[in-house]
Structure 1
Amino acid sequence: MVNQFLLTDEITVTTDDFLLCQEEEAKGDTKMKISELYLVELILVLVQFYTANAIKCFQCDYSKPGCADLTPKNTSSQYYKECTPINGTAFCRKTRQSLLFREDIVRITRECGWITHKSNENRCFKYDTQHKFDTSCQCFEDGCNSAFTLSIPTYLMSATTAAIAALYRIF
């Protein structure tokens, strides 16, 4: 039995029409809820992507007190900061500069980097001139450019290279 309702002289609505209309409305609500869910999911993915790319590095140089002695545990230090995204994914860098004419002068710089050195993306690389010897290390974890980033083999290579450079000056 189909119930009919007379709304005006010209429009008649059955209960089946009314139920069908309610079903369509419910489907519309579902579609809206699903699209809202996708939007929330997209926002969460973007937030996670941003936080995954935000790395914290020690950022200071030899002129700042305490910069040379930072350890990975110094995360409350004023020098421990999030890298500002510029071009590409940020990473941490530590550069140790020795002046060849003054062996007692060593300059340490800790900073963020955005362009990795192409010869070795995960380790250290060296470059020197007649007056200075530099070792620059790049790393990709929070606080990895602390005072203990360089490994023993890197120190040995640095010492060996410095000794060869000193011998070269003598002869």
Structure 2
Amino acid sequence: MDPNKQALLVLLVAALSFEGAHCIKCFDCTSVNNSMCLDPTVYDAETLQKYLPSVECHAGLFTAATHEDFFCRKIVQAVLHKNHDSEVRVTRGCGYVRHRKDCYKADNEDHLETVCQCFKDDCNGAATLRNVGVAATVLTAAAVLGLSFKL
């Protein structure tokens, strides 16, 4: 076989067998700095792109994560203040250490939180995650506050 044709064939096979890297895109925000982070589903695509754009998740300098390891995460916290009303904070971003459950709750001394993970572009702004996370955290916070006032 002609050396040029052989080289072209090798390049063609290599190009066809190469799997491109895909980075998942996630909303990356906190409601402390951007109130749109509380519920991105109420905004149109143009407004979201301008004020709450998605980011591509990339491995940081100190992580061993690959592009396939990343996912989107949403954290809803009910922060319990002793001397004034509690507040709800939402944080959305990329993650790379997966939990065995898609959503789980954590009950800490000064806050309650619901953490959800998902695996499609911009899924951490989805209504399903919002309903599970916010409702569960707010109901749990209300129950804890109700119990604490009775003690």
Equivalents in 1 of 2:38, 2:133: separation in Å? 17
Equivalents in 2 of 1:67, 1:150: separation in Å? 13
Which of 89, 93, 97 in structure 2 is aligned with 1:115?
A: 97
Asked which structure has the greater CA Rg, the reply is 1
Q: Which amino acid aligns with 1:106?
A: V
Equivalents in 2 of 1:99, 1:33: separation in Å? 62
Q: Which residue of 2 aligns with 1:95?
A: 75
Which of 19, 22, 25 in structure 2 is aligned with 1:46?
A: 19
Q: Which residue of 1 aligns with 2:40?
A: 70
The CA deviation at 1:96 is 0.7
The CA deviation at 1:126 is 0.5
Q: Which residue of 2 aligns with 1:57?
A: 26
TM-score by length of structure 1 reads: 0.66
TM-score by length of structure 2 reads: 0.74
Any idea what the Cα deviations from partners look like across 1:30-62, whole Å, max 9, x if unmatched? Answer: 4233212123224xx332xx02xx111010112
Instruction: For structure 2, list consecutive stretches of 5 or more residues without a partner in the other structure.
Output: none
Q: Which residue of 2 aligns with 1:106?
A: 88
The CA deviation at 1:107 is 0.9
Equivalents in 1 of 2:133, 2:28: separation in Å? 22
Summarize the Cα distance change of 1:159–1:107 in structure 2 as closer, same or farther, 3 Å threshold: closer
Identity %: 30
Q: Which residue of 2 aligns with 1:141?
A: 120
Instruction: For structure 1, list consecutive stretches of 5 or more residues without a partner in the other structure.
Output: 1-25
| Larger relative contact order, structure 1 or 2 (CA cutoff 8 Å, min sep 6) | 2
Q: Which amino acid aligns with 2:32?
A: S
The CA deviation at 1:80 is 1.3
Aligned length: 137
- What is the root-mean-square deviation of aligned Cα atoms in Å? 2.6
Q: Which residue of 2 aligns with 1:132?
A: 111
